[in-house]
A and B are shown apart, each in its own frame.
Chain A
Amino acid sequence: MNNLSSHGNKILNDFNPFKNFKLENYKYAQLHKDHTSENFSDSSYDYNELLKISHNLQKTDFEETDLSSKVDKWNFNSIDSYFRVSSLSNRSSLTLNLDNFSQEVLLVDVNHFSENISFTKNSSKNQTLILITSNISNPKPRSIFFDLAENSNLEILQLALSNNKSFIYFEINQSDFSKMNFITFQSNNNHIRNEYYASLGEKCELNLLGLNFKNNFINDNFSYIQHSKPSTASNEIFKSIVDNGAITNFQGKIYVDPIAQKTDGYQMSRSLLLDSKSKANNKPELEIYADDVKCSHGSTVAKLSQNQIYYFKTRGIDEQTAKNILQKAFLVEIIESLQNKEIKDFSKKLLDNLI
C-alpha cells in the first residue's frame, strides 16, 4: 500500500466506512458494526441444476491483469469508492473476454477467486453470465468490472445467498450503443453491500434490477449511474421484503452530464415490511446538468395488503399460503425481466424454494 498515490491513500485513510460511519455514500450500511450471525439459515439451492444449463468458467480461463493503475483513474463525478480503492490495492486481478466462449450461459463462482475480476465483451451475441457471490464470509471488499464495447450486450444474474459478510464493488462501463441487463438476487444474507457504478455512452441502455428478502442484519444496495453521453436510458428497480428486525437500504444517484441530453432515467425502490421491527431506508437522488431529460425516481414502503389476504382467504386459501404467494408476486417482476428463459425459470424456482 506504500506505493499508492496520494489519491489512493486519501480514500483509504479518510473515506474508510469500516471506521468512519458518517460518510455520505455509506450512510446506512453500518460497516463499522461487526455483526456476525451464526443463526442465519444456509439457503439451499440446486447448484447442479444451474451447472446443467450453464458453462462453468474455471480459474484457468482467466488471465492475470494489473488493474492497480486504475486507482487513479476514477471516471465518476462522485467521491471515489472505498471498496474500489481498497480491493484494487489489496487484491490482484484477473480478466476474461466473454467473446471467447460460445455458450449462451456462463457461470462464475466468485468464492473460488481471491482476485478482483474484470470481464470484457465485444459482441452483440446474447449471453447471460451468472455470478455466484454466495457463502462469502471475508469482509474485505472485492471489485468486479464489466467493460462493454460498442454495440455489445450482456445479461448478468448475481446470486448473493447465505453470505455472512459480502462487500462488492461493481463497475459497469458501457461504450456507445451497448446494453446491459443486470439482475441481483439476494437472500439469506447477514450483512451485505453491493455498489454499482455505471457509466453510459451514447444510446446505451442499462437495466439494474434487484430483489432481496430474508435479510438477517443489513442489506445495502448503492448505485451511481452516470449518464455521460446523449440519449442514454437507465432503468433501476429494487424490491425488498424485510422481516425479523432486519434493515434494507437503497441509496442511488442518477447523474446526468451537461452533454447527456435526452437522458431517460428511472429509479424506483419498493419495500414490504412484514413487521414493525424491520426497516427500509431509501435515498434516491438526482443530479442533473442537462435540460432536455426525462428522469424520475420514487420509493414506497408498505405492508402486505390485508384486503388481498382476505380475498385469498375467502377462496379457502390459508393465511400463510396467501402471504407467501403475495410476497412472491411482489418480487417476481424483477425475475420476469431476465431475458434468458432457462435462467428465468431457474430463478423463479429458486424464489419458490426460498420464500
Chain B
Amino acid sequence: MLNIKDLKASIEDKQIIKGLDLSINKGEVHALMGPNGSGKSTLSYVLSGKEGYEIDSGSVDFKGKNLLELDVDERSNEGLFLAFQYPMEIPGVQTSFFLKTAINAKRKYQGLEEIDALEFAKLVKSKAEELSISPDMLKRDLNVNYSGGEKKKQEILQMSLLNPEMAILDETDSGLDIDALKIVSEGVNKLRNENNSFLVITHYQRLLNYIKPDFVHIIADGKIVKSGNFSLALELEEKGYEEISKTA
C-alpha cells in the first residue's frame, strides 16, 4: 500500500525527517509513537503533499504510484486521508456543504455522478449518528467553535464518508474524553478491512487498546528507531522514550 524509503524532508532549510523507512501493507494497522517534535506531524504533512516541505531524498510509493508527484487533492482522491492533529476552522462554510463537496470531488474523480441529495442526507445522518455527532452540528460552520473533541470527531466523520484506502490519524485521541475515544475507535474499527490500512499516530497506549495495531514504530529525531508489535507500546508506557531508545 504505502512504501516509504529513506525519506528525508525539510521545512525552511531545516531537515525534520532524516531518513525514514516505513512499509505498510494492505489490511495492516501501524502505530507511530515518538516524543514531541520528533517529526510525526511533519511526516503526515509531507505524505499529504503540503506546500513548503522540501523532499531532500528518498521515495514514497502509494499503490504502485509515485506519491510525491501527485498534487494534494489527487493524493486524497487516490485514497490517502489525513486526520489532522489540529483541524482547520473554516468560517462561512457549512459543515454539511463541505462534506457534500468532498464526497462529490471523489465521485467526480472516479467518474461517478454527483451524489443525490436524499442519498447524501441519509448517508451523513447514519455516519454522524455512529459517531454521536448531532445533526445541528452539521449545520454549523466547519469546525468553527467546535470543541477540541468535536473537531476530532469531525475528522473521523470525513474519513468514514471518503472511505480511504490509507488513513493517517494524527493524534486523533488527544482531546477526546473516554466515551468519545471509544466511539471514535469503534468508527475506525468499523472501517477497517483487508483492503485498507491505517497509520495511527499517538502518544498513548490507551488508544491502541481499542484500535489494535499490527505493528508499533517509535520515531525519534526524524527516524524510526525501533519497531515491534503491540507489546512495544506496553513497554514504552512502562519505560518511556529515553530508555526505549537506548535499547534500540
Contact = CB atoms under 8 A, between A and B. Distances in A.
A166 B75 CA distance: 47
A3 interface: no
Interface in A279-318: 306-308, 310-318
A321 B105 contact: yes
Label chain A's interface by main secondary structure.
helix
B146 interface: no
B90 A319 contact: no
Q: Which of B49, B87, B91, B158 has the most CB of A within 10 A?
A: B91
B103 to A, nearest CB: 9
Interface string B91-107: 11100001001100110
Interface in B1-58: 48-51
B73 interface: yes
Interface in A313-355: 313-319, 321, 325-326, 328-330, 332-333
A313 B73 contact: yes
Contacts of B118: none
A82 B162 CA distance: 59
Nearest to A306: B51
Interface in B66-113: 71-73, 75-77, 81-82, 84, 87-88, 90-93, 98, 101-102, 105-106, 109
B76 A329 contact: no
B76 A314 contact: yes
Contact of A318 (B75, B84, B105): B105
Given A306-B51, A310-B50, A310-B51, A316 B105 contact: yes
Nearest to A336: B92
B115 to A, nearest CB: 13
Contacts of B48: 314
A314 B158 CA distance: 11
Contacts of B77: 316
Contacts of B71: 313
Nearest to B109: A316
Contact of B102 (A310, A315, A330, A333): A315
Contacts of B81: 314
Contacts of A333: 92
B70 to A, nearest CB: 11
Contacts of B92: 326, 328-330, 332-333
Interface in A48-107: none
A317 B108 CA distance: 10
Interface string B178-194: 00000000000000000
A329 B93 contact: yes
Contacts of A326: 90, 92-93
B73 A316 contact: yes
B82 A314 contact: yes
A250 B72 CA distance: 37
Given A307-B88, A329-B90, A314 B51 contact: no
6 contacts: A310-B50, A312-B73, A313-B72, A315-B158, A317-B105, A329-B90
Given A315-B162, A326-B92, 7 more contacts: A306-B51, A311-B90, A315-B101, A321-B101, A321-B105, A325-B93, A326-B93
